Amino acid sequence: MILSRIADQTAADRSTSRDRPTRSSAEQRSRSLHRGARAAQLTYLLFLLSLAFAEPARAQGEPTLDSGDTAWLLTSSALVLMMTLPGLALFYGGLVRAKNVLSVLMQCMISAGAVGVLWILLGYSLAFSEQGELIGGMLGDLSAVGLSSIGPEDLRSGTAVPEYVFAMFQGMFAIITPALMAGAFAERMRFGAYLGFISSWLLLVYVPLAHMVWGGGWIASSLGALDFAGGLVVHMSSGFSALAAAILLGKRHGYRHDPMPPHSLPLTVVGAGMLWVGWFGFNGGSALGANSDAGLAFLTTQTAAATAVIGWALIEVLHTGKATVLGAATAAVAGLVAITPACAFVSPLGAIAIGAGASGVCYFAVTVLKPLWGYDDSLDVFGVHGMGGVWGALATGLFITEAALPEGVGWGAQIAKQVLSIGFVAVYSIAISVGILLALRVLLGSLRVESEDEQRGLDLSLHSENAYTLQPAGTMVGHAPAAAPREHSGAA
């Protein structure tokens, strides 16, 4: 009707113009502008009508790429890689003794290399292929080996991002997870044994858990446990596996007798800051789009980490009389670990509760549980990632909002599901990790370096390099000898 009215009015204008005597040039220009305005209205209306007919067709057709979601996931992938290189490398590097710093940096670097290749060749297909399963509910199939069945234009099902981008984002998680374990057996594991361990562990522990939780496997689909960004898959798996490795390798020479202080707390704090920033991509990117879930995850991630820093400092003051820089760095990581599985399922107040709980749980694990059990977890991977992951997975059920609860599942039932998933991941990670390490011991003869190499330092004995130039007296250039050093009481 609107079109016909505009057409009728235009025809009437033309008829009137023919019947009237010639106008002045000003009047002619005015009428010309009037007709131009009518034409513009008609063009705009046709444009609106084209959109109205096009949207239903698009909705019924194939999904289309969303540039905003894709840009956010690309950014998040880079942020998660930054967490390993250089974030985790600097964090761990500062915590070990100066003679071992390069060995830790190399462990993080080789994880990015080895895992980066294995993920493309085999890991992604076994974790996230959607054609079938090799082992029902536990492992995907080989349909995407080498990403050969995926093209640049293919979108990941259920998202508006290319599957290549999704594969890279998940690959960054795969890189950092085995690298986290290095902190537990730092300063004593052979380089070849480490490379064999993380490669086998990726395929036998991480990939199955990633499939079970995020790839349609039984933990998510049958058990119904929730893990938004990796409390079970990343932190619990690495933390409990690291504990098994630390116990199996044995304690460092001089542990609890010789001073083993962090050689550079500034490096550790810089690394912790990079981890904190990168965690926004870790958690926020797990929304797989620039959406409300990403915004909530961003907010709760920051809130939990901030709360944990305050909580740990208060506990330290009450326990030892002073708040420490090392404690603050450790607390930040503990809060980030704990909020990871829950970041899109809880409110800001829930994030505060989770951050506060993380500071208490992880402080207890580092300062009480570790000395009580007597294991040498060099940089407290189990105390922060293992126990922090346990608390986070449980807290997901405790503080989940009503809107985030799965349909038909009550609060108590969800807590029970979280508890079952915690037990399974702990047992599975330890059992498979012990099996891998025992097999490597048979193949390699020994998992740890010789005693004299350990005392000399892994930088020289394994890599023939020194991190720092030394003066003849043996002190680092630009550094005065440290007075009365004491061992650190917390790390990640």
C-alpha 377/C-alpha 52 separation (Å) is: 63
Q: Which of 418, 417, 412, 413 is nearest to 395 (CA)?
A: 418
pTM, rounded to two decimals: 0.85
Query: Which long-range contacts (C-beta less than 8 Å, at least 24 apart) are formed by 405-412?
Result: 406/224, 406/226, 409/224
DSSP string, 306-371: HHHHHHHHHHHHHHHS---HHHHHHHHHHHHHHHGGGTTTB-HHHHHHHHHHHHHHHHHIIIIIHH
Query: Is 37 in a helix, a strand, or coil?
Result: helix
Looking at residue 133, what is its pLDDT? Answer: 83
Q: Which of 355, 322, 366 is nearest to 492 (CA)?
A: 366
Looking at residue 492, what is its pLDDT? Answer: 56
On the CB side of 205, CA atoms within 13 Å amount to 35
C-alpha 91/C-alpha 268 separation (Å) is: 4
C-alpha 324/C-alpha 317 separation (Å) is: 9
How far separated are the first and last CA of the chain, in Å rounded?
Answer: 70
Residue type, 69: D
10-residue averages of pLDDT along the chain (492 residues): 47 45 49 55 51 46 89 98 98 98 98 98 96 85 96 96 98 98 98 98 98 96 97 98 98 94 98 98 98 98 98 98 98 98 98 98 98 97 98 98 96 98 98 98 96 96 90 48 44 55
Looking at residue 234, what is its pLDDT? Answer: 98
- CB 121, CB 137: distance < 8 Å: no
C-alpha 108/C-alpha 97 separation (Å) is: 16
β-strand partners of 400: 346
C-alpha 5/C-alpha 302 separation (Å) is: 58
Domain segments of the chain as ranges: 31-61, 69-463
Query: Is 357 in a helix, a strand, or coil?
Result: helix
The domain made up of 69-463 has a fold known as Ammonium transporter fold (1.10.3430)
Query: Which long-range contacts (C-beta less than 8 Å, at least 24 apart) are formed by 131-134?
Result: 133/211, 133/217
Question: Tokens for 433?
Answer: 């990790």
